[in-house]
Structure formats: structure tokens, C-alpha cells
Amino acid sequence: MNKTVNVVIAGLGGQGVIKASDILSEAAFRSGFAVKKSEIHGMSQRGGSVTSDVRFGPQVLSPMVPPGEADFLVVLAPDQVEVNRGQLRAGGVLIAPELIDQATLANRKSFNIALLGALSTRLDISEETWRAAIHACLPEKLHAANEQAFAVGRQAAAKL
């Protein structure tokens, strides 16, 4: 991979946008890439819109994905798709919440990780590294549910 990969993760406060971006940046870091992850905290716990930018590759300068240059847009809330669509570059991939049937998840709170699973099929990061990143970012009692959600997401990616 010789160019920077730009990912924008979007949703509402409390959905796990920041946690998903933590795991993605951890996985990229463990894969040896330069990585930057940037988001706006503050009002995020009060149900408002939240986005987090993750950039990785051989070198990363600005921490923010330039407008209209996201390779991937991962959205956790249906009403946040249109708000953020302008972030995607032409030909960029939208991973929308409809991709995952929440009823198939062992724990519905792992929805963010299921969407990461779908994203993972398009990135140059090994499954083993993803698992290690999930383990590093979540408490042990949540590992099984989130690994299940990640697997659901990987399967659902076939529909992308």
C-alpha cells in the first residue's frame, strides 16, 4: 500500500463511533503503518452527531481527512448517511448501517464492530491483527460478542 487510506466513521453520541475508530487505528498501528485518528469530543455524549477520521499509510500529515477525499465512509446511524456523504471521494465505498441485520448480533451494542468487520475486508490488515486490536481496546468480557459481530460484518461485506 503506497498511499494514505482515509476512513471517516460517523454516527451519533453513544453508538461507539470513537471506539470503532480506536480499534481501526490500533489495528493499523499494529500493522506498522503511520496512523492518525482525529475526532471532536465534547458534546458527543449528549446524542449529537459524531465523526472520527482515521488515516493510515506510509506517511500521514494532516490528522483530518480532507473534504471529499474519504476512501471509506462507515455510518452507524441511518440519519447520518446524507449528512456525511460529501466526505466520500468519487468511487469511495459507503458502509451503511443497513448492511448489518442487528438481530444477528450476539450483543446489539457491538453494531460498531460489525461495521468494522465489513470494512476490514477492504483493508490491508490481517484478521489476526484485527482480533488483537479488538482485544486491546475492549474489556475481556466483551471479546466474544465483538468477535462474533466482527465475523457477521465480514460475511455481510459480500453484499457491498
Which positions lie near another protein, rule CB under 8 A? 12-13, 22, 25-26, 29, 34-49, 51, 60-64, 66-68, 79-80, 82-83, 86
16, 76 contact by CB (below 8 A): yes
36 vs 131, which CB is nearer to another protein?
36
The minimum distance between CB 117 and another protein, in angstroms, equals: 21
29 vs 122, which CB is nearer to another protein?
29
42 vs 58, which CB is nearer to another protein?
42
Q: Are strands 88-95 and 70-75 parallel, antiparallel or unpaired?
A: parallel
Q: DSSP secondary-structure letter at 9? A: E
Q: Are strands 5-12 and 49-57 parallel, antiparallel or unpaired?
A: antiparallel
The minimum distance between CB 71 and another protein, in angstroms, equals: 15
Rounded-to-integer distance, Cα 130 and Cα 147, Å: 9
Could you tell me which of 152, 17, 1, 156 has the C-alpha nearest to residue 77?
A: 17
64 vs 94, which CB is nearer to another protein?
64
136 vs 160, which CB is nearer to another protein?
136
> Left if phi > 0, otherwise alpha if psi is -120 to 50, otherwise beta: which for 47?
left
The minimum distance between CB 152 and another protein, in angstroms, equals: 27
Angle at 153 between CA 149 and CA 156, to 5 degrees: 140
The minimum distance between CB 133 and another protein, in angstroms, equals: 10
The minimum distance between CB 62 and another protein, in angstroms, equals: 5
